[in-house]
Structure 1
């Protein structure tokens, strides 16, 4: 078993095109340790200092599952740029933003390293906040994005703040996330997905924090519809057991918590993955009766652009007709 998804796909595709990977509820993305993943992905030294980064294996799995070659992958808060690098390696276009200068330098270096290794060359990162996606500068992205893939970031903005407080205020993090998702929602093309990855957190008493409820509420507030919830393993699979890959710092912290609580504390072995679509797109697919796992292929084949809400009836008719429908009659945009 490897970190990379390899699975057959039952829907006929054009000759020479690789099929997307049907999503699983548990992703086997922990077969190698984080340091090995970064090294195999060609990431530059220092990338590991981004504690909220999406591990390369998880990014690669999400990209292979929810996009097709040539699609545009966007990370509105890209950190050190692991998502962007993996998108380029997978033959997708990549675009990211970060307002933190230290992450921008690393993300730019990782993009350059990916291009130098022969990956797809259409990738860029801007020194900007997610709010830029709501300005005229991002108008060319509206309805063109196949996948928004980003992480829940709770680490402080600067190293000085990190020593005083390991995590930011949860309410502020969620409010910021709602705004970011709202900026991203208009960018999704037809059949596009927004995937949110969250590293598990614990309360002071050692209990896991419920991240799923507030994150789904944040996506719903931004006009998105949750379509899937997955578990991305950060532990290896050895037959019927998990091989934990907790760092030395994590092990020490667990021992401290266990001593304080008087009960054993288990290591986390996964990342939470929540998958969303634009509410109108998810509703159209449901009305058309397309099974979730082949919904993306039908939608991508049926549309060349994201349909407007006023064209809902024509879109449903086209999706019901299947891939052979005349896409130009129902598209809200044009080929570019």
Structure 2
């Protein structure tokens, strides 16, 4: 994997033609069990209650791959704050948002613990819904975020057994996520990335949900282009076999499914979809194909969230 992925598609695409799925890569991020990851990262007790959290190893891998020291990492729905902890530990600035008092308290405690352990970069947690990114409070962030790294959250309390709660399944998880992507797009700096981590979800009938297609569609509508599709392992690699790291709750759910006559496999990965600003991806693809592309400062960028941003040049 390269440190700075570029778009794999030639330009321009024929009218009406959709881009193919981005290239696939595998991250060996399941070598340690979840409890060990949280302990090694210095997360405070209670962080494991956030079952929709991005595992620290996955967050650390994404941050190391898509950012440089001193970059700003944003999680617009940060939960207990594992992304913020890993950003600070890696020498990046970190900003998280959450609308849940429970997660705000844990995320603040985790940021404080990371700073106490020697992380000197700035870390903050705002008690606000993701849509605050479209308000004046975010004005100073436009064009400054190096990486937006966030999880597709199933619900505020993130139940593991989705089959018992249809209204908290994949469809409701995806419903408000498109707005979050739209609000985050203006904040990315030139060359920045947005990465969405999604654990496998099942419909009430036990079938796996297709998360990739709607997520790519939502990101494309927000002005982002997919550049990489990754499998972040949550199972350990032992030679040529995988060692499951699933929780007791997940194992019990799988056992109940087998008893009911609908056997399901235990999960071994999270899916990570990585996007860039559409213009950045187009420029990279054009450069790779030797196609001239205008970069003059007087190009006017289409309005996003009701605001027109002149020029394509972003803060480096």
Q: Structures share a fold, TM > 0.5?
A: yes
Q: Cα RMSD over matched residues?
A: 2.9
**Counterparts of 1:333 and 1:93 in 2: how far apart (Å)?**
18
Matched ranges for 1:1-336 at <5 A: 25-156=25-156, 165=165, 168=168, 170-261=170-261, 264-289=263-288, 310=299, 332=313
- CA deviations 1:30-87 (Å, max 9, x no partner) are 0011111001000001100111100000000000000000000000000000000000
In structure 2, what is the Cα distance between the partners aligned to 1:307 and 1:186? 19
Structure 1: give runs of 5+ residues left out of the alignment.
1-6, 11-22, 292-305, 313-329
Contact kept in structure 2, 1:70 and 1:93, CA below 8 Å: yes
User: Relative to structure 1, is the Cα distance of residues 8 and 207 closer, same or farther in structure 2, using a 3 angstrom cutoff?
Assistant: closer
Between Structure 1 and Structure 2, the one with more helix by share is 1
Task: Name the CA distance, whole Å, in 1 between partners of 2:106 and 2:277.
Answer: 31
Number of matched residues? 283
Q: TM-score with structure 2 length normalisation? A: 0.82
**Shift in Å at residue 214 of structure 1?**
1.1
Q: 2-side partners of 1:334 and 1:213: how far apart?
A: 31
- 1:289 counterpart SS class: helix
> What SS is found at the alignment partner of 1:191?
strand
Q: State the 1:307 CA deviation.
A: 8.7
Q: CA deviation at 1:155?
A: 1.9
Q: Distance in 2 between matches of 1:290 and 1:94?
A: 36
Q: Distance in 2 between matches of 1:334 and 1:275?
A: 20
Q: Distance in 2 between matches of 1:158 and 1:243?
A: 24
Identify unmatched segments of 5+ residues in structure 2.
Answer: 5-22, 302-310
Which gives a bigger RCO, structure 1 or 2 (Cα 8 Å, sep 6+)?
A: 2
TM-score of the superposed pair, with normalisation by structure 1: 0.77
Between the aligned partners of 1:152 and 1:307, the Cα distance in structure 2 is 36
